[in-house]
Structure 1
Amino acid sequence: MTRAHRGPVRVGVFGLLGSGNLGNDGSLEALLGYLRADHPQAAVDALCGGPEAVTARFGIPATRLHWYRGEYSTASRVGSVAAKGAGKLVDVFRTAAWVRRHEVVIVPGMGVLEATLPLRPWGFPYALFLLCASGRLFGTRVALVSVGAGPIGSRPTRALVRWSARLAAYRSYRDAPSRGAMRAMGVDTSRDSVYPDLAFALPAPRAEVPSGEEPGSVCVGVMDFHGGDDDRDRAEEIHRRYLDGTTRFVRALVADGRRVRLLTGDDCDAPVADAIVRAADSPLVTVARAESLDDLMAETAAAGTVVATRYHNLVCALKTGTPTLALSYATKSDALMERMGLAAYRHPAREVDADRLLEQFRVLEKEAAELRRVLAERNAAAAREIGRQFTDLTAALFPAARPAATDRHAPTTLRETS
């Protein structure tokens, strides 16, 4: 059931947006580009993790996702535990009231149906369930657009994710394994589609091809990596191995006289980058303080090659057409590298072997010219698929919109990389 409404369509966007994760904010930027091009009369606001940051950067009204401000901090005292518990009840009514004010609510990209990083069921999975249940209750169309999904070991988290997906009015995934994971959880995915990550809708600069005898700089994307939700018992061991292996790799590059630019993708990654700078102790190693995916793409476009861990560091590097090696920590990274034709250039983030990584890196540089050609073709295909995603979304959520709308969108937002 949907509600009749006169006047501009009221569209809400939902997620951990404005909270320091550049990939999440990049997905929001891509969605807003689509809405402003194809549905300029829509009234858009957000329910999100960092409302002040979202309003300041994107110019839309925003409301805090959780009533309790310390939702994602550890609660150890009786008072904070009680406040967090009370917040769960308050959020039922806050979320329902917010959803009821909209005809459409969109969750743009992000790994909202996965647990590749540590996750508690009463955190974001609970919030997503409240959103989708409220949408079904009030007739608001909730859309999960190009989202990530994966196997989930925790039974409570898996149940919340499964019911959220079932209650959504529209679902599409950023890769085939995500759709397969939801099917394995018992969700009917027969009408669900797979499209590229929404970040592929963002304009990107061309990669700068190194010329002459001197090779280009190397961007190394680092991450505060402690494994996934099922790795809590050995999280510190995983982190130490990742940091040690990555640091040894950077030192090997410096020993060869290479300039290294460290990239992050979330506020929590900065200490990792700083630790590597201290350990390398060389002016050849610097840190890029990127504040958006545009900044990350500018960095990767200027590099000769990229070695990266965090998912959206990979997206940015691949979208700019820069030869890239993935320190892969989840199926989503593997699927992305396969989609872009670089499946051979992966290395496990949980077991970084600096010597083996250096060997793979040297092969990557040797094959760089051919890989740039492959990436140009795959980026052109991704741009076409993103156009189909937005056409599909308009048909599902804005049935009264004119079908020619997406034609206006393509030249300004979908810039094919060559």
Structure 2
Amino acid sequence: MIERDSPQIKSDATGPRVALFGNFGTGNLGNEATLQAMVLNVRKYLPNAEISCICPKPENTAKQYDICAVPIRAPSPIWRSDRERKVGDGSISKATTGPHRWMTAVLNKSLRIFSYPFVDAYRWFKGFIALKDNDLLIMTGTGMVGDYAIGPFDLHYDIFRWAVIARLCRCKLLFVSVGGGPLRHPLSRWFIRAALALADYGSYRDAPSKDHLAAVGIDVTNHAVYPDLAFSLPKAVIPAKREPERRETTVGVGIMNYHTRLGGSGSDQTIYRDYIARIASLVVRLLERGYTVRILIGDVVWDQDVRGDLRKELEERRCNYDDGKIIDEPALSVDELLLQLASVDVVVSSRFHNVLLGLMLGKPAMAISYHEKFQPLMSGVGLGEFYCDIERIDVDELIGKVVELVEDAPAIEARLALKTESYRAALDEQYRRIFEGISSYRGEPSGMGLPSASRR
């Protein structure tokens, strides 16, 4: 059983113990929508299950879902970050300031290098303690087996470590509707190949993900393809459709802190500045056509500076935020994002789950793509032509596409309703396959008790 930090959480010793793994608690609303969908469906299909989470920010996740959580990487017992060295008044202790700060930095770096094997062994040990009495470890959706903003010794090594620990603990390992590829680094390929080889069940959120992994030598023959987990958010959490408060058409414009194809933010701001300028041009043109614009974010941490930069660019172009034509109220949770998406007529976004959740709500959408994953999402709902590359935004073409979406909205909404309902049914099928009939896997040999994942 995963060790609890929250005394008010009670264990149900009679039910299966399910650990959910992923990049959760960090403020990425798409990832949080994925986790919320999984948590609610585990509770639906395994009402007596004891759920826990393995994630980068366990304190946030534990509080939000009233579950216990542990860090993906146990904090080092040898070194501490500057944040951990803060003294009572919030300042950094004298050991890291003053004239000898450079010497302290060199010593700290040396300590990290030479002590890393011991720290890593400690993390393996803590992982074993955390997982030893669990029945299921679920690698929960998201793009975790791709390399956008992920290096080999980032999440990919973490996936490998926890997969091996699951096998040692006789805990079933499931990769459920994960996004895969590209995997450019040989070490990333090795870690993911080894982790998937240990899996009792595997499925991908689209066929290209499965094909990407097969192309780099990973055996996915018996793995399935099911939709993105966010499509399985229960209808109870989806905002009811209501009459718009405004007569004007409202376009939701999703932004992100885009810098490079591989993610992250380098020192070169050229691509980012060009992106901001083009999004600003899009907003100006939408306003000129009489549309209202709602700014949408997908990450409550990384997209805040983007909001500020976009506002500065728009104000330089004499756009007035005070007249109500630009709505800029950042969502701080999945529920708030869903409400905002429900309030718009069309979605144009660079954030994958802005687009996906908009589609789930029946909103015609245009994807500004930074990754291969957008293409199967849009093609899957019959909107494959409403897709453009984030580094080749043609504002005139984009405006034409938005106008087309607005004009064809009733027909598109009807098609989306049918398609997203079929996605929901497919995910219900997957949940039944992996959860139905389970009271506990505890004590079964690895490889038993789960269905073959053969759906393409």
User: SS of the residue aligned with 1:276?
Assistant: helix
Tell me which residue corresponds to 2:87: none
Equivalent AA in structure 1 for residue 356 of structure 2: V
Q: For the residues of structure 1 that align with 2:214 and 2:159, how far apart are their CA atoms?
A: 19
Q: Which amino acid aligns with 1:304?
A: D
Q: Are 1:79 and 2:86 matched, yes or no?
A: no
Q: Which residue of 1 aligns with 2:435?
A: 394
* Structure 2 counterpart of 1:216, from 230, 246, 249: 249
Judging changes above 3 Å, is the alpha-carbon distance between structure 1 residues 114 and 183 closer, same or farther for their aligned structure 2 residues?
Answer: same
What is the aligned partner in structure 1 of residue 73 from structure 2? 66
Letter in 2 for 1:338: S
Tell me how far apart the structure 2 counterparts of residues 230 and 300 of structure 1 sit (CA, whole Å). 25
Corresponding residue of 2:447: none
Q: Give 1:195 shift.
A: 1.0
**AA aligned opposite 2:183:** I
State yes or no: 1:376 paired with 2:417: yes
Q: Does 1:301 align with 2:335?
A: no
Determine the structure 1 residue equivalent to 2:90.
none
Which structure features the higher share of helix residues? 1
Aligned partners of 1:103 and 1:152: how far apart in 2? 29
Residues 163/346 of structure 1: CA separation in 2 closer, same or farther (3 Å cut):
same
CA RMSD of aligned residues (A): 2.6
* 2:25 paired residue number: 18
SS in 2 for 1:144: strand
2:156 and 2:188 in contact (8 A); partners too: yes
What are the equivalent positions in structure 2 for 1:357-372 lying under 5 Å apart? Answer: 357-372=398-413
Out of 282-291 and 223-232, give the one that drifted further: 223-232
Helix, strand or coil: the match of 1:342?
Answer: coil
Q: Give 1:168 shift.
A: 1.8
The equivalent position to 1:319 in structure 2, one of 352, 360, 384, is 360
TM superposition shift of 1:233: 7.7
Matches within 5 A, 1:282-293: 282-283=320-321, 284-293=325-334
CA contact (8 A) 2:45 2:436 kept: no
1:261-297, Cα deviation, whole Å (9 max, x unpaired): 1111112011112211222232222323212322222
1:175-194 alignment, distance < 5 Å: 175-194=206-225
Please, which of 248, 257, 273 is the counterpart of residue 281 of structure 2?
A: 248
Aligned CA distance change for structure 1 residues 396 and 113 (closer, same or farther; 3 Å): farther
* Cα distance, 1:170 vs structure 2: 1.2
Distance 2:263 2:140 in 1: 26
Structure number with bigger Rg: 2
1:172 aligns with 2:203: yes
| Partner Cα separation in structure 1 for residue 106 and residue 383 of structure 2 | 48
What is the Cα deviation at residue 328 of structure 1? 1.2
Structure 1 residues 356 and 386, CA gap change in structure 2 (3 angstroms): same
SS in 2 for 1:142: strand
C-alpha contact 2:350 2:369 (8 A) present in aligned 1: yes
Determine helix, strand or coil for the equivalent of 1:97: helix
Instruction: Quote the residue 1:348 is aligned against.
Output: 389
61-70 or 257-266, which deviates more: 61-70
TM-superposition CA deviations, 1:35-90 (whole Å, max 9, x none): 2122121122122111111111100011122224889x9xx855157447354332
**Which one of 90, 96, 99 corresponds to residue 131 of structure 2?**
99
Match of 1:278 among 304, 307, 312: 312
Tell whether 2:212 aligns with 1:205.
Answer: no
Shift of 1:137: 2.3
Is the CA contact 1:205–1:297 (under 8 Å) kept in the aligned structure 2? yes
Q: What is the SS of the residue equivalent to 2:347?
A: strand
Identity %: 27
SS at match of 2:391: helix
Does structure 2 conserve the Cα–Cα contact (< 8 Å) formed by 1:241 and 1:352? no
Q: Match for residue 53 of structure 1?
A: 60
Query: How far apart are the structure 2 equivalents of 1:280 and 1:101?
Result: 55
1:3 match: none
Letter in 1 for 2:225: V
Deviation at 1:241, TM superposition (A): 2.5
Alpha-carbon distance, 1:140 to partner: 0.9
Letter in 2 for 1:124: L
Partner residue of 1:410? none
Aligned length: 391
Taking the aligned partners of 2:440 and 2:129, their CA distance within structure 1 comes to 25
Q: In the TM superposition, what is the alpha-carbon distance from 1:211 to its structure 2 partner?
A: 9.8
Rounded Cα–Cα distance in structure 1 between residues aligned with 2:190 and 2:26: 26
CA offsets 1:224-272 (integer angstroms, 9 cap, x no match): 1123328988963332222221111112222333221111111201111
Q: Which one-letter code corresponds to 1:65 in the other structure?
A: I
2:16 corresponds in structure 1 to 9
Q: Which amino acid aligns with 2:72?
A: L
- Give deviations 1:12-46, integer Å, cap 9, x for gaps: 11111111111111111111111212212112212
Cα distance in 2 for partners of 1:56, 1:150 equals 32
Bigger Cα displacement from structure 2, 224-233 vs 317-326: 224-233
- Structure 1: gaps spanning 5 or more residues: 1-5, 401-418
2:226 to 187, 195, 216: 195
TM-score, with length taken from structure 2: 0.79
Contact 1:277 1:286 in 2 (8 A): no
In 2, the alpha carbon distance for the partners of 1:118 and 1:238 equals 16
Structure 2: segments with no counterpart, 5+ residues: 1-12, 84-104, 442-456
CA contact (8 A) 2:248 2:290 kept: no
Offset, 1:149: 0.3
* Alignment equivalent of 2:141, drawn from 98, 109, 114: 109
TM-score (norm 1): 0.86
Task: Give the 3-state SS of the residue equivalent to 2:152 in structure 1.
Answer: coil
In structure 1, what is the equivalent of residue 302 of structure 2?
268
Which SS does the other structure have where 2:259 is aligned? coil
Distance (whole Å) between structure 1 residues aligned to residue 74 and residue 45 of structure 2? 33
Residue 15 of structure 2 contacts residue 440 of structure 2 at CA under 8 Å; is this kept in 1?
no
1:122 corresponds, among 153, 167, 185, to 153
